[in-house]
Structures are given as C-alpha cells and as structure tokens.
Structure 1
Amino acid sequence: MYDWISALEAEPLSDDRIRFDTRDPARQALDGTVVTPLVQFGVLDVTGIDAEKFLQGQASTQLALVDGDFAPLTVFCTPKGRMLANAQLLRVAEEHYRLIMHRDLVDSLAEHLRKFAVFYKVELATRQDLALIGLVGQEAGALAEVRLGVAPPSIWHQSGDAETQLLAHPGPRQRLLALLPASRATEIWRRLVDQATPVDNAVWCLHDIQAGLAWLTAQHRDALLPQMINWEALGGISFKKGCYTGQEVVARAHFRGQVKRRTMRGQLEGAVLPEIGCPVVDSREKSVGEVLAAERDAYDQAEVLVVMSTKEDMGPLSVAGQKLKLLKLPYPVERLDPETLATL
C-alpha cells in the first residue's frame, strides 16, 4: 500500500482494495460526487530519445496519435497474441510516455519489455511516487477544475501538465482519474473531500464493469487475445499501424473472425460475490467461460464481466451457484479505430 494511503481514514483490505466507513458507497456515486484512491492501478514510465520508436514496436496503438491530448488504450502481447497487460497510454512530455494498468502487472510487463529495451535508448521505471485519485459523479468535472486547476478532458483524452494529469474514463457517471505526485496527494485529497464523499475503490471498479471495461489481472495474464476483452471495440487496437509483438495473430483473429470468446456484462441473482476466474457454467455444469471482474451495485446485487463462448442458445447460465443474467454492453462489439477515436 502506498504511503499516502495510510494517512486516510480508511481500511486497507489488500494491496488493491481499500474501504471507507461510508454508507451505500455505490449509491453515493449515483446521487452525488465521490472520490476514491485508485490503489488497484500502477504506473510504468518509458523515457528516452527512442521511447516512441520502442513503444511502436510493442504496443497495439499508433504512437503518433499519443500526442499529449489523446491518451488511448493499448495492449502488450506475446508473439502468440496473448495479452501480458492492457493499459492506458499517455504522453507526459517529449520523450516521456506513461502507462497505467493493474498494479499486479507493472513489474512483469517491465521485465518483459526490458528484454527489448536493451536495443534502444530508453529507460523503464515503475513509479511508486505517484498517486492516482478517482472522481465520479455529477460534479466531478467542476470539482477537478476548481481543486486541481485542470479542465476535464473528453473520454480517453488527457489534460494537465508534466506534474499533474487528468484522464477521462467512460461509465454511467462522469469519471476522472487524477495522476499526481504522492507528496501532494494528502493535500489534494483534503481539498476534494470538502465537496466529495470518500468511497471504496470498488465503486470505480463497478463503473468499469458497467462500462464494459476489463483490466487484465495476473489471473488472466498470457491467456486471452485482446479481442476477448473487446479491446478493438474500445479503440485499443490499431489495425493500420506496422508490426508489433503479437500483431500477426491479433490481426488474423480480426480479419478471419476467429474470436470464439468475448467479454460480456451480466448480473447475478444472489448475494455471493464470485472471485476472478470463477467459472461460468451451463445447465450441465459445463464451463463456458469465467469471471473477469465482479462488484456489488447500488442495489447490493453482483454485477460481473465474464469472458465466455460466443455460441448462441447455451441455455441457463450460472456463476457460483447463482443465475447469470446477461446485460447489454454500452458499446457495439465492432471495430473502433483509435485513429477515429482520436478526433472525437
């Protein structure tokens, strides 16, 4: 747990979970504005004169688009096209790029990239000295502008400067992710909680689920193609750029329509919150998928993202002994080029 977190009136549940004594936190995000420490995320910086060239050969996005305004999703794969990590990529300054991903994958991705970095003039650094704070709700944008002095950007874009960046993520309510030096985090937090309610970071994770946005964890590292988490539908894959590690497999799966599993959104009829990796089973108890993420919503029901077979008419489905009701994703499962998204 990061040092600045220990100063908060919260209970750390694990390295990537934190809880506040706030009643109905998910409801608070629907009715007002909330703030939460995003301890589930970690940061990897790539710097040096070859940083753009280096990342162009490893990431699924077109680096020329990452211009300090557009901050796209991206993914890093094995030569077989399996994901090692998915991330949001932003440019902090000239020759300085920053990746935000699940904290459990930062070190392993850095170790993987260092095998290629020796051929470039770049440096990789995991950033333990940065704080990530999330704002969710009706007044998130106004609060960020007043308390952080940064105007909110549009979704998958960035604003701010080399010290403080503000990113906008999709969801049922406005969501902003602030990235700043940990040395300023306590001061900024106090400013924000004057007008926003502190809540568990599970609230942010719930909104990820409702946005159909799956962040890879160590449970599924080197196991899934990017399309299995709908990454091309979220603008996280450029099919117009040159080669990158795993590109041939990812492109073949797209153009030949060989994706047999997809991420779907659902709700469980029961009180049990399943663990990541918990199987989705059909009426014959045959596994047809597994859980990527699960959180309780404002009505104390479990909402989930599951990666599962695209076969139709599989009959009743269940997770952890509870009926699974599939819900509509908030986006069409079709290709969205980041080149198009950059202009929105």
Structure 2
Amino acid sequence: MHDSYTPAARDASDAPSAPISPQAQARLALDNTVSMELEQLGVLEISGTDAAKFLQGQTSAQVTLADGDFAPLTCFCSPKGRMLANAQLMRVEEGRLWLIMPRELREELKNHLAKFAVFYKVEIQPRDDLALLGLIGNNAPLLVESRLDIVPPTLWRQAGNDRIQVLRHPGPRPRLLICLAAASKDAIKETLANQATPVDPGVWELQDIKAGLAWLSASQRDTYLPQMINWEALGGISFKKGCYTGQEVVARAHFRGQVKKRLARAQLEGDALPAIGDAVNDAQGKRQGEVFKAQLDAYGQVEILAVLTTKALAEPLTVNGLRFKRLKLPYALERVDPEELAAQG
C-alpha cells in the first residue's frame, strides 16, 4: 500500500493528515510540481565485457545508441515476437547497462536472458540497492537543476553523475525520473519535498496513460507484438539492426502490414476503475479488445489505455457497460526510427 499525503503534509502539525483521493492527487499535478516514489519500476543491470554484445542479440534497441546521452526504449520478445518485457535502456559506464522497467517483470526477464548469457562474459542482476523517484510539473526541470545540480535532459535522454541519473519521459507536463542509491532516497525526497508535493505513484501512471506509453504487467507478458502497444511509434524498435530474438516476426508484421491490434486512449463514464484485461465490447457485445491500464484523472473520470482490433477503432464501444470515449494519442501511428531520435541531439 502506498502512503498518501496532503498538500499540508510538510507543515509542523501534531494532527494526522487525512489521505487525499487519487482524483485530488492528479489535480495537484495540473498546477503544482509533485514528487513520488516509483515503486512500480525497478532496475535490471547487465554488466560485463560482453554486456552490449549480449543485449544486441536480445533486445529491439540498437544497443550502441545507448551512449550515456540517448536512452532508447526497447523490448524483449519470445521467438514468436510476443513481448516478454519492455524497458528504457541506459548506459551508466562502459560495460554497465541499466534497464528501467516494471519491477514485477525483472526476475522473469533475468531468467529468460540467463538462458543465453552462458555464452557471454556478462552478469544480470536486479539492483535493489537503487531507488526511482518521479517529478512532474512545470518547475520540475528547475528543481532538478537547483537541488540536484543536474541540467535536466531532453526527451528519452539521460543526464547525471556517478550518484544520480535523471531521465526525461513524455507527458502533458515536464516529467523527470530520478535514479539514485536507495540509501540516499529519503534525503533526496526531503530535499525535493520543500518545493514538490509528495503524491502516490498512480499519478505517474496516469501521465503514462496520457502519453500513450504502455508498460507491461505480469499478466500481459507474452501476449502482444510490440506494434500492438505502438512501440515502433515511440522509437522502441530498431528496424535497421541485425537479428534479435523475435526479430523476424516483428519485422514481418511491420513490412507486411500484419498488425491487427493497436493501443488506443479513451475515457470511461464514471469513476469505477476497470481491471487489466476487462473486455472492450462493440455494440453487439462482441469483444474487440481489452483494457491495458486505467487510472482516475483530475476530474474523477477514468482514463484508460486499451488494445483494440484495428477494425474497431471507429466503432461505438463499451467497457463493463460504460461508454468508451476515444481520446487522441499524443503521437502519430507511424514508425519512428531510434537512430533518427539519437541523431537529433
């Protein structure tokens, strides 16, 4: 269970503060800078002489692009091209790469990669000694620069030093992810709390939904082609690199136009959160997709990401009897090559 805070939580008061609702916390992020501990995310480290070479044969990213500046999105697939995990790849030093990814998938991905790692000089380990914090708000970049002495990076890039790394994620408000030693977490949280209101990590997940950014959960593992969650539209697939596990299926689906499902944004009437996997039905009650992720927004409405059949994208739809109102994605459904993103500087 996540701790909840009120805007007055920093005041010196003996009276306990009442928890505030997810709606109220989401509203704080509209006009204020907020901070949160990203308990849903973790770090999986790939290190050793062959770390980059090993990952090149396993991941959808062009690993050489992760150069300490550019930090590309990536994914790992089964031989059938279904995603086992997705992540952001960053290089912290020569022979040491970090995957920022859903915490609940780290152990399964480690076990999957270990089957191939025996042929390389490489170690794979979850970094439980690291913590991840989030900052959202117009003042977030200034706060990182003034409090942490780090010039904030631009989108999908990293900046920092041997103590703290900062990543920029998309969203309607500036959004920064801070990776640091767990032993330093409380001190940094206290430093940031002077100018950023602490909230629950669900606020970060709401911003993911608004950004059309879908992170797999354990129940969704080995279910979707990367393109079904628009991963190529976010620069998460290199179609210019050599082979990796599942590459042939992923490439064939792209070049032959065989992607039959797509990620969509929507709003549901009311404040009843659907569960991951709940059906999205058409007017005849036929299943046309499923809920991928859901959170309450600042106005008490449910915002969701859903994976839908492409033929259903223009049809009237419902989830648990609630009207499915489509919202615009903040990007075009077109291939974005990570090589071009990296070259933009």
Q: TM-score, normalised by structure 1?
A: 0.94
Secondary structure of the corresponding residue to residue 315 of structure 1: coil
1:57 equivalent to 2:57? Answer: yes
1:17 corresponding residue in structure 2: none
Asked if the contact 2:5–2:198 (Cα under 8 Å) also holds between the matched residues in 1, the reply is no
Instruction: Give the equivalent residue in structure 2 for 1:332.
Output: 332
SS where residue 53 of structure 2 aligns? helix
Question: Matched residues in 1 for 2:88 and 2:329: separation?
Answer: 20
Which residue of the partner structure matches residue 146 of structure 1? Answer: 146
The CA deviation at 1:42 is 1.4
CA distance in 2, matches of 1:43, 1:321: 38
State percent identity of aligned pairs: 60
Structure 2 counterpart of 1:16: none
SS in structure 2 of the partner of residue 89 of structure 1? strand
How far is 1:272 from its partner? Answer: 0.8
Residues 52 and 145 from structure 1, CA distance in 2 versus in 1: closer, same or farther, beyond 3 angstroms? Answer: same
1:170/1:340 Cα in 2 relative to 1: closer, same or farther (>3 Å)?
Answer: same
SS of corresponding position for 1:98: strand
Deviation at 1:313, TM superposition (A): 7.0
Could you tell me whether the CA contact under 8 Å between 2:78 and 2:222 is conserved in 1? yes
Q: CA deviation at 1:300?
A: 0.6
Distance 1:341 1:321 in 2: 41
CA displacement at 1:32 relative to structure 2: 1.0
- Kindly report which structure 2 residues correspond to 1:1-344, keeping only aligned pairs within 5 A, or say none: 21-22=19-20, 24-312=24-312, 315-344=315-344
Alpha-carbon distance in 2 for matches of 1:213, 1:269: 22
Deviations 1:203-227 (A, max 9, x none): 1000000000000111110010000
> Secondary structure of 1:342's match?
helix
Residue 21 (structure 1) shift: 2.9
Distance 1:130 1:313, change over 3 A: closer
Whole-Å Cα distance in 1 between the matches of residues 286 and 81 of structure 2? 27
Aligned in 2, Cα 1:28/1:105: closer, same or farther, shift over 3 Å? same
Asked if 1 retains the 8 angstrom alpha-carbon contact of 2:33 and 2:137, the reply is yes
Q: Alpha-carbon deviation of 1:10?
A: 6.1
Q: Is 2:4–2:199's contact at 8 Å kept on the other side of the alignment?
A: no
- Work out the CA distance in 1 between the residues paired with 2:243 and 2:163: 32
CA change 1:313–1:299 in 2 (3 A) is: closer
- SS of equivalent residue, structure 2 residue 343: coil
- One-letter identity of the residue aligned with 2:266: G
Shift of 1:270: 1.6
TM-score computed with the length of structure 2 as normaliser: 0.93
What do residues 255-281 of structure 1 show as CA deviations (whole Å, max 9, x unaligned)? Answer: 000000000000001221111111101
Change in Cα spacing, 1:43 to 1:338, as seen in structure 2 (3 Å) is same
Counterpart code for 2:143: L
Q: Which moved more, 1:260-269 or 1:140-149?
A: 140-149
Q: State the Cα deviation string for residues 170-196 of structure 1 (Å, max 9, x = none).
A: 000000000000000000000000000
Query: Matches of 1:200 and 1:9 in 2, distance apart?
Result: 6
Partners of 2:305 and 2:279 lie apart in 1 by: 12
Shift of 1:312: 4.9
Corresponding residue for 2:14?
none
